[in-house]
Amino acid sequence: MSDRPWVSHYVEGTRPEIPPIPFRNLPDMARQSAARYASSTAFTQCMPNGMTAGLTYSQVDRLSDEFAAYLRGRLGLDPGDRVAIQMPNCLAYPVVVLGILKAGCVLVNTNPLYTPPEMVHQFSDAGARVLVIIDMFGDRLPAVLPKTPVETVVTVRITEFFPTLQAAIVRAVLKYVKKQIPPLTVPHTPFQDALSFGRERLKSGADLKGYLDGVEHDTLAALQYTGGTTGVSKGAMLSHGNLLANTAQMLEMAGSRLQPGSEVVLTALPLYHIFAFTVNFLGFYQSGGHNVLIPSPRPPSNLRKAWEQFPVTWFTGVNTLFNALLNEPWFAQNPPRTLKASAAGGTALHGSVAKRWQETTGTAVVEGYGLTETSPVVTFNPIGGRVKEGSIGIPVPSTDVRCVDETGEPVPTGEPGELATQGPQVMLGYWRRPEETERVLRNGWLHTGDVAVMDEDGYFRIVDRKKDMILVSGFNVYPNEVEECLAHHPGVQEVGVIGVPDDRTGEAVKAFVVRKDPGLTTETLVAHARESLAPYKVPKQIEFRDELPKTPIGKILRKELRVDPAPERERV
């Protein structure tokens, strides 16, 4: 094991290789969990005011069967057809996801914050035939649907499966007070109608088992969109085996600290993000956990009722979420008493935040590392073992990681090199992008574009991130996309975009602009960006300059923008 020095730092009982996966595919895992934990609560949705509703494992199993029968029996989808979903954390989410997978179709997770241009790109690139969307964002559909292959829209309410009175109260506030439910002007099928259609198909003998003929570990399960190491959004093809393997790797690392059928995980991170999807959803579903869903973690007071009402044992978040909770008096003065541990991902965990979390809750928050392309977990600081501050930890079982030079050869221990990894969680490739796939998957290794250092113990530390990528609250922002948007404004002559440190979001987007129109203002440019970009991609700082540094061939030098002093700055 000399080439795997980290194995000696696994917590006792952790096997260096995961055992053979006992499930044929993800629906097989879900059905076995439903049978084992039938009457246990699988998911509870907790609203900011404390109203809750839940579904048991048997209910999720039955409802997802109905949705699968709707997709195949009513809509006539074929195996491998793509179904996009666009909703926050809510009770409908697991039902829809498992229904898609049980139908033998492919899941396309989509950020609910996406603007129409972003939606058009993702739905068109994926070739999605069906879109399941929260009705709160239905006003975007008229501008989106004609430009995509989407044939059917299913609308979901945030109050699905809530008691009638509670649902009516919540919807009245959202619709009439907060004005957050717009009228739907496109043909659509309400979610409950879709379930009713599926129920009738099941009564008439829908072949649920037949839907999964040929669906094995190497079958595509999900297209999880990412920019990878460039600004072009593309779908990472994650197979049933990829996701099952990463779930098994996570559970192996957790070991006896995660007790099947008795854990409560608080899920504030969005399930459409690969971190929460695999760790919170798949991991705790397989182990019979109770998942408490938070539709929106902003403001952090939205989590208060969940922390107070449920005996939370596990929590996942990004650095900014942990920091925000620590700054809430209600949390700091009455920290959770049942918490075992917390896991941080998505962006770097600040040492000061980890220390304060330990002091406040009496439990550790440990940092890991992963990519959309790896389903996502690659490394983790061992919970209950040796944690190194500033480190992303050690590789999970059945995973090899090394730092390599430009030729792909390993560099000496302690020397920086590009982090490369291989294991059963590594994606099949990028959807319909063979050249991009060949660029990152070479000789069986996924080349991440991140520069890292491995120490003598096999712990890794990131020393530089993917070139130019900006991490805003754990979400990837690619300068090319922001620059292209800003450049379309008639008052912009040139633009360069970088990431800058931000206390709240880890990093923020900063734009350097040479004006074509001397009257162009920060406010005008920000308003322009908001029309095409999700809020986290919109520049938080804009600096106007007379010129931008360039290479001899005219390429803007972002690295010089990072160090060049600013003569004039306007903050948003």
Find where tokens 């096999």 sit: 458
Per-residue pLDDT band for 564 (boundaries 50, 70, 90) equals: low
- Torsion sign over Cα 260, 261, 266, 267: positive
Average pLDDT, the chain: 93
8 Å CB contact between 188 and 150 = no
Which amino acid makes up residue 366?
V
Tell me what pLDDT residue 463 has.
81
**Which three-class secondary structure state does DSSP give residue 104?**
coil
**Which three-class secondary structure state does DSSP give residue 112?**
coil
Q: Which of 183, 199, 216 is the last residue of a domain?
A: 216
> Tokens for 333?
């003065």
Tell me what pLDDT residue 180 has.
87
8 Å CB contact between 131 and 109 = no
pLDDT, tens digit (0-9, with 9 covering 90-100), for 99-153: 999 999 999 999 998 999 999 999 999 999 999 999 999 999 999 999 999 999 9
pLDDT, tens digit (0-9, with 9 covering 90-100), for 88-100: 999 999 999 999 9
Q: How far apart are CA 301 and CA 308, in angstroms?
A: 11
Q: How far apart are CA 471 and CA 204, in angstroms?
A: 50
Q: How far apart are CA 530 and CA 81, in angstroms?
A: 32
pLDDT, tens digit (0-9, with 9 covering 90-100), for 439-457: 999 999 999 988 899 999 9
Tell me what pLDDT residue 348 has.
73
8 Å CB contact between 160 and 191 = yes
Tell me what pLDDT residue 304 has.
98
In a domain, 124, yes or no: yes
pLDDT, tens digit (0-9, with 9 covering 90-100), for 398-408: 999 999 998 99
Is it the case that residue 172 has pLDDT exceeding 70? Answer: yes
In a domain, 342, yes or no: no
How far, rounded to the nearest angstrom, does the alpha carbon of residue 349 sit from its chain's CA centroid? 17
pLDDT, tens digit (0-9, with 9 covering 90-100), for 264-282: 999 999 999 999 999 999 9
Q: Average pLDDT in the 325-353 region? A: 91
Find where tokens 């390599």 sit: 404
The fraction of the chain above a pLDDT of 90, given in percent, is: 81
8 Å CB contact between 298 and 283 = no
Structure letter (DSSP) for residue 160: T
Identify the bridge partners of residue 155 per DSSP, sorted by sequence position.
133, 190
In a domain, 553, yes or no: yes
**In this predicted model, which residue has the larger pLDDT, 416 or 248?**
248
pLDDT, tens digit (0-9, with 9 covering 90-100), for 320-334: 899 899 999 999 999
Q: How far apart are CA 270 and CA 111, in angstroms?
A: 9
> Tokens for 511?
């734009």
Q: Which helix (H) or strand (E) holds 27?
A: helix 26-36
Tell me what pLDDT residue 185 has.
94
8 Å CB contact between 542 and 525 = yes
Q: Which helix (H) or strand (E) holds 510?
A: strand 506-515
Per-residue pLDDT band for 464 (boundaries 50, 70, 90) equals: low
pLDDT, tens digit (0-9, with 9 covering 90-100), for 308-320: 999 999 999 988 8
Tell me what pLDDT residue 469 has.
79
Q: What angle do CA 25, 28, 32 make, to 5 degrees?
A: 145
* Strands 220-226 and 106-109, bridge-based pairing: parallel
8 Å CB contact between 473 and 348 = no
Is it the case that residue 567 has pLDDT exceeding 50? Answer: no
**In this predicted model, which residue has the larger pLDDT, 37 or 232?**
37
CATH number of domain containing 141: 3.40.50.980
Annotate 302-317 with three-state secondary structure.
HHHHHHHHCCCCEEEE
Q: How far apart are CA 349 and CA 366, in angstroms?
A: 8
Q: Which of 216, 249, 271 is the last residue of a domain?
A: 216
**Which three-class secondary structure state does DSSP give residue 200?**
helix
Bond prior to 490 in cis (omega within 30° of 0)? no
In a domain, 534, yes or no: yes
Is it the case that residue 569 has pLDDT exceeding 60? Answer: no
In a domain, 459, yes or no: no
In a domain, 131, yes or no: yes
Identify the bridge partners of residue 118 per DSSP, sorted by sequence position.
none
Is it the case that residue 471 has pLDDT exceeding 60? Answer: yes
Q: Average pLDDT in the 493-516 region? A: 92
**Which three-class secondary structure state does DSSP give residue 41?**
strand
Tell me what pLDDT residue 147 has.
98
Q: Where in the sequence is the domain holding 183, given as residue range(s)?
A: 54-216
Annotate 548-568 with three-state secondary structure.
CCECCCCCECHHHHHHCCCCC
Q: Which of 175, 190, 216 is the last residue of a domain?
A: 216
Going across the sheet that includes 290-293, the strands are: 52-56, 41-46, 290-293, 264-267, 314-317, 341-344, 365-370, 377-380, 394-395
Tell me what pLDDT residue 391 has.
93
Count of all residues that appear for the chain in the document: 572
Contacts of 380 (CB under 8 A, 6+ apart): 250, 253, 343, 366, 367, 368, 369, 392, 393, 394, 396
In a domain, 167, yes or no: yes
Alpha helices in 40-187 (DSSP H): 57-69, 92-102, 116-126, 141-144, 164-172
Alpha-carbon Rg of the chain, whole angstroms? 23
Is it the case that residue 234 has pLDDT exceeding 70? Answer: yes
Per-residue pLDDT band for 465 (boundaries 50, 70, 90) equals: low
In a domain, 306, yes or no: no
Tell me what pLDDT residue 231 has.
57
Q: How far apart are CA 291 and CA 310, in angstroms?
A: 10
Main-chain dihedrals φ then ψ at residue 244, nearest 5 degrees: -65, -40
Number of domains in the chain: 2
8 Å CB contact between 389 and 351 = yes
> Tokens for 156?
């979901």
Tell me what pLDDT residue 553 has.
44
Is it the case that residue 566 has pLDDT exceeding 60? Answer: no
First to last CA, the chain: 53
Tell me what pLDDT residue 2 has.
57
